[in-house]
């Protein structure tokens, strides 16, 4: 049950787009369409941004989108804003188990 | 919807602890509930989940055989019995509601556990 692989950090200027990858195996990311993404500001509860690979909960801005190809899922933030600076974690169902990604720090330059 | 964890303390290696999570504002027995932890300076780590009817309980390899998850739907409460604690179990422990297959829509603030001599 190793953590899903995510880049340690990504950065971009306001208005730019950034993408965070989340790589697993065919036993987790590749085996199910149950990948979610969480935004985590220190000291606050994680907030779900994407679920079921591509679905966006109500209230989450449209600039957040999710996708998946094979064993790799991705979260894209289009039109980066200052308040998007946070840690982001992917999460996958893995058959009676759950695996989180190692986390990616998004920095808005 | 609200969840509040409690029970976190400083405990010696090899010791035991029971965490609680009291929920309100929703039909507790309709939801699978999870424990997730975050060690200092580290990322989120899934610990365990239990189905709404308690028929299914599952664990991360790192805690299997040492931790036991349970729930009391009448008390709207989720529990985590932690035995044979190790230094690497030191973390903030959070409970979260699973609306649909790792769609965790509400989280508690967490309770800190420190395993140290």
Q: What is d(CA A107, CA B66) in angstroms, rounded to the nearest whole number? A: 38
Name the residue with higher pLDDT: A42 or B25: B25
DSSP string, B37-49: EE-TTS-EEEEEE
Residue A42's pLDDT is 84
The fraction of chain B above a pLDDT of 70, given in percent, is 100
Residue A43's pLDDT is 85
Q: Which of B38, B15, B20 is nearest to B93 (CA)?
A: B38
Chain A residues in contact with B101 by the CB 8 A cut-off are 32, 34, 51-52, 93
Residue B30's pLDDT is 97
Point out the residues of chain A with pLDDT beneath 70.
Answer: 1
Q: Is B73 exposed, middle or buried (0-12, 13-18, 19+ CB in 10 A)?
A: middle
Q: What is the pLDDT of residues B76-110, one digit of tens each?
A: 999 999 999 999 999 999 999 999 999 999 999 99
Residue A2's pLDDT is 84
pLDDT band, very low/low/confident/very high, at B63 (cuts 50, 70, 90): very high
Give me the residue from B46, B106, B108 closest to A99, CB to CB.
B46
Q: What is d(CA A23, CA A25) in angstroms, rounded to the nearest whole number? A: 7
Residue A90's pLDDT is 98
Q: Which of A78, A25, A33 is nearest to B100 (CA)?
A: A33
Q: Is B100 on the interface with A (CB under 8 A)?
A: yes
Q: Is A27 on the interface with B (CB under 8 A)?
A: no
Give me the residue from B49, B101, B105 closest to A48, CB to CB.
B105
CB contact under 8 A, B62 and A1: yes
Give me the residue from A3, A48, A93 closest to B43, CB to CB.
A3
Q: Is A22 on the interface with B (CB under 8 A)?
A: no
CB contact under 8 A, A48 and B94: no
CB contact under 8 A, A96 and B58: yes
Q: What is the pLDDT of residues B32-62, one digit of tens each?
A: 999 999 999 999 999 999 999 999 999 999 9
CB A76 within 8 A of CB A67: yes
Residue A48's pLDDT is 97
């Amino acid at each position: 049950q190793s953590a899903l692989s995510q880049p340690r950090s990504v950065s971009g200027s306001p208005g730019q787009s950034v993408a965070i990858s989340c790589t697993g195996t065919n036993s987790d990311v590749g085996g199910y369409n149950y990948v979610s993404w969480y935004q985590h500001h220190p000291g606050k509860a994680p907030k779900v941004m994407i679920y079921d690979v591509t679905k966006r909960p109500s209230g989450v801005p449209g600039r957040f989108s999710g996708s998946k190809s094979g064993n790799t899922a991705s979260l894209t933030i289009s039109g980066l804003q200052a308040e998007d600076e946070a840690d982001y974690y992917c999460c996958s169902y893995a058959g009676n188990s759950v695996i989180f990604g190692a986390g990616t720090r998004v920095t808005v330059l | 919807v609200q969840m509040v964890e409690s029970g976190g303390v400083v405990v010696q290696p090899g010791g035991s602890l029971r965490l609680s999570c009291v929920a309100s504002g929703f039909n507790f027995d309709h939801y699978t509930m999870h424990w997730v932890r975050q060690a200092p300076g580290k990322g989120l780590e899934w610990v365990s989940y239990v189905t709404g009817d308690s028929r299914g309980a599952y664990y991360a390899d790192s805690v299997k055989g040492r931790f036991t998850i349970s729930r009391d739907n009448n008390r709207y409460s989720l529990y985590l019995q932690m035995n044979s604690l190790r230094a690497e179990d030191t973390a903030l422990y959070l409970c979260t509601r699973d609306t649909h297959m790792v769609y965790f829509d509400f989280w508690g603030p967490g309770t800190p556990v420190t395993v140290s001599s």
